[in-house]
Structure 1
Amino acid sequence: MLTLCVNGVDSVSGTTYHGTLTLCDLAGSERISKTEATGQRLVEAAAINKSLTALGQVFTALKNNALHVPYRNSKLTHLLQPAVNRDAKACIFVNISPSIKNLGETLSTLQFGSSVRQVSLGKAAQHLTTAKSST
């Protein structure tokens, strides 16, 4: 995760502006049955899946205009709170695979992207933009 804080001053009006750009590369979900992970790798895979589930819960709460958004359900969502709160603007890129062996993960990723796209953030309540790419 990389967070850039930018400050600027309008030379005419003297108004100070503040902005933050957060870049976060999320790991893909770990299919335990497919990777056959064991030991420490299994623990790590479970943690990744828990964080991604928590992120999905945050987006669902935002989409449904819930009074409570569960940002504190994981360290990931807690750290991303400023970037995905109701006053933020966000752009989500999903990465999919053209390989038939990854069809399940691709469909799951596209479903997640489609769900996230329905979330309204920002003062203008614009929909989140999702971009698809294939690897």
Structure 2
Amino acid sequence: MAARAVGVTNMNSHSSRSHCIFSLPTSTSLICQQDGYLQRGELHFADLAGLERVDRTGAQGQTFEEAKRINLSLSALGNCIAALAQPGRNHIPFRDSKLTFLLKNSLGGNAKTTLL
């Protein structure tokens, strides 16, 4: 977390300039009758940088480029969620950003997702 970058914009004096994802692998041994098996999972905690209206923030230079990348990755996340909500859709664009690729197991399949 010490390497996390923050920057000042017109909208926020401590604006986060990155997403932060903490992944915690979990496993448990379950014994059923005579066969034992290992159950595995992964818990993701994601602190997402906020979507920014570049015209309102007054971002320039590197801060402007960071804002564009943040907005693109959040847009890709929204596209994945929209694709998952459409019944019968075969292709989910998880590879459109690093964020969606890292969170693909949490978004689709047998996963429980909560937003705070």
- TM-score w.r.t. the length of structure 1 is 0.65
Give a deviation string over 1:79-107, Cα, whole Å, max 9, x none.
111111122111112xxxxxxxxxxxxxx
Higher helix share: 1
Structure 1: stretches of 5+ with no match in the other structure: 94-135
4+ long deviations beyond 4 Å: none
- Distance in 2, matches of 1:6 and 1:23, equals 13
Q: 2:38 aligns to what? A: 16
**Percent identity between the two aligned chains:** 39
- Distance in 2, matches of 1:78 and 1:25, equals 16
Q: Which residue among 48, 67, 71 is the counterpart of 2:94?
A: 71
- TM-score w.r.t. the length of structure 2 is 0.75
Bigger-Rg structure (1/2): 2
> What RMSD over aligned residues (CA atoms) do the two structures have, in Å?
1.2
Q: How does 1:1-135 map to 2 (within 5 A)?
A: 1-11=21-31, 13=33, 14-65=36-87, 66-93=89-116
Structure 2: stretches of 5+ with no match in the other structure: 1-20
